[in-house]
Chain A
Amino acid sequence: MSRNKLIFLVVLVLVACALPFLVSNYRVFQFTLVLVYAIALLGLNLLTGYNGQISLGHGAFYAIGAYTAAILMDKFGFPYWATLPIAGAVCLVVGFLFGLPALRLEGIYLALATFALGVSMPQLLKYHHLEKWTGGVQGIVITKPDAPFGLPLNPDQWLYFFTLVVMLLMFLFAWNLLRGRIGRALIAIRDHHVAAEAMGVNTSIYKSLTFGVSALYTGIAGALGAIAVQFVAPDSFNIFLSIVFLVGIVIGGLASIPGAIYGAIFIQFIPNIADELSKAAPWAIFGIFMIGFVYAMPFGINGAIRMLLARFGRKAQTGGPGSTITESSLKTKEASQ
């Protein structure tokens, strides 16, 4: 990582740390959800952006993570922080097992199989034999944790910082995973799976494991989301959530790590803005935003930012206008990131 990038990152983290002291508690809660979605989107991007497996059912893993956390806290008295690794592990196993049969499916057919998972999840959560755990249609109410060690933070601020630390760790792990041997193998499978296998990549294990790791990320996000919202119910995790996740990674930028954050900001705030613009047809406004973004930024927000930075960088170097960056050189940077 270059020095400039590191400085930029430190500044960004400082801004993120100052944020909860500058805005209302409700906004702090919204920003906590942005961090939560960023983790979920990063997980989906590992699978879809980097490894080329389309999932229309990641809302299901988010739900499994959320319910795992809620049940552990409500029925077993687990502390909130201890539910995260368990939610992650449960989703890792479920994701890996789902990934095994999904190996036989490619592209749009895999999308359909994952759609089936996403669409059936709310009903599975309402299943009456599971009711004593899941609370059926009523769901489960959980209490928001207070700041520990007498820290001078209200519960919203504390949860924001807790989520921020988890998010930074998850992003660090993903960055590590993607910048070396495993990241190359994941992209190689996406680009040419026969050649990847001929070069010694065990494509079936890698694809299933990627499914598992992707589910782990989304599951941990689900657990954090449940703690932040203080409530889980089957219909919060309908198929729409899965599709919004896919929208998030495309708008943010496929196969990019910062894209997950941009996408999370989009899926958290654009529906609110749309709602303010038109109470009658907020989703029509949301649709217009979506089309506008895709049209103006074909490589996602991350791609657009990179293109701008490259243009400024060139101008600073040569002092002359008119330098451009080609689409393909941009993609190389994205893929090699």
Chain B
Amino acid sequence: MQGDTKNGKCLLAVNDVSVHFGGIVALDGISFDVHSGQIVGLIGPNGAGKTTLFNCLSRLYPCDTGKIDFNGSPLLSIPRHGIAQAGIGRTFQNLALFRTMSVLDNVMLGCHSRTSSGFFANAVRLPRVPLEEIASTAKAGELIAFLELGGVAQARVSDLPFGTQKRVELARALASEPKLLLLDEPASGLNHEEVSALGALIRHIRDELHVTVLLVEHHMSLVMSVSDKVVALNFGRKIAEGTPAEVQKHPEVIQAYLGDAQ
């Protein structure tokens, strides 16, 4: 693949993954690779299986067959709550924030997988607990500044506008210091200006924070402008993979989006 050339080692290898829900085939033998330092776009019409694939990567759904390797080790043996620590962070298609908590607390919760103090240590406040809190607060503070959330750090998240909440979710995901960031439709619900800022932000995350990005998105101009590689799905199958230009010209992709050109 042309898209693989500029980048490093294979970070995520999805190999022949299938998922069935009853008689419905949600994913049918999907394979593709994501290399370190890439931004990979995952596109397809509604119901193509993009979110299902994300949920396999977060271990929210079990895979029926196939193999997923992350950073050289099998992902499917890691429990759901171990995914963040393994180095995969994510955002959700419909916001999944902790609604009664402040922005700062939401982002600090993102540090959970990078900290370890337990119930007893916290209850008696062992010396390492305040040190850990200081480190988490500092980390969250950096991300809040990075995502320009400084003015609302103490606000309750459910009081904030949708676009701001999406940035809180992004900050929370980045707080776990992921190697791979899964973004599920980050542009949905954003206005035109916010979408163009988002493109720059995603590149910034890759270039400055050195996070590899896998992106599900319907907003074609965004996907095509930021992605090094695009994978197209339809009805649970992979129909195309390549550079944005290649995928855009692919006849099956055109057919999937526009229907048969008679």
Q: Using a CB–CB distance below 8 Å, which chain A residues touch chain B?
A: 173-174, 176-177, 180-185, 187-188, 190-192, 194-203, 209, 213, 328-329, 331-332, 334-336
Contact = CB atoms under 8 A, between A and B. Distances in A.
B100 A197 contact: no
A149 to B, nearest CB: 27
Interface in B71-104: 79-85, 90, 92, 96-102
B60 A173 contact: no
Contacts of B105: 184, 187, 335-336
A195 B119 contact: no
Contacts, number: 116
Given A176-B129, A181-B112, A332-B154, 8 more contacts: A173-B124, A182-B122, A191-B98, A199-B110, A201-B109, A201-B112, A328-B159, A329-B156
A198 B84 contact: yes
Interface string B152-171: 00111011000000000000
B123 A177 contact: yes
B124 A176 contact: yes
A319 to B, nearest CB: 24
16 contacts: A173-B124, A174-B123, A180-B129, A180-B132, A183-B122, A187-B101, A187-B105, A188-B101, A188-B109, A191-B97, A192-B99, A194-B60, A199-B113, A202-B81, A328-B156, A331-B156
Contacts of A177: 119, 122-123
A201 B117 CA distance: 12
B121 to A, nearest CB: 9
A181 B98 contact: no
Contacts of B133: 180-181
B115 interface: yes
Nearest to A184: B109
B155 to A, nearest CB: 7
A183 B119 CA distance: 9
Contact of B97 (A190, A192, A209, A332): A192
Contacts of B96: 192, 194-195, 198
A196 B109 contact: yes
A196 B97 CA distance: 9
A197 B109 contact: no
Contacts of B117: 180-182
Contacts of A200: 81-85, 112-113, 176
A332 B112 contact: no
Contact of B112 (A185, A191, A192, A194): A185
Contacts of A187: 98, 100-101, 105
B58 interface: yes
Interface string B7-39: 000000000000000000000000000000000
A20 B81 CA distance: 50
A202 B154 CA distance: 26
Contacts of A190: 100
Contact of A203 (B81, B83, B176): B81
B125 interface: yes
B135 to A, nearest CB: 11
Contacts of A176: 122-125, 129
Contacts of B83: 198, 200
A202 B129 CA distance: 19
Nearest to B80: A197
Contacts of A188: 98, 101, 109
B238 interface: no
A184 B101 contact: yes
B48 interface: no
B229 interface: no
A201 B80 CA distance: 9
A334 B113 CA distance: 25
A93 to B, nearest CB: 14
A336 B113 CA distance: 20
B172 interface: yes
A45 to B, nearest CB: 15
B58 A198 contact: yes
Nearest to A178: B122
A173 B84 contact: no
A181 B136 contact: yes
Contact of A191 (B82, B101, B172): B101
Contact of B98 (A174, A182, A192, A334): A192
B118 interface: yes
A296 to B, nearest CB: 22
A195 B81 CA distance: 10
B181 interface: no
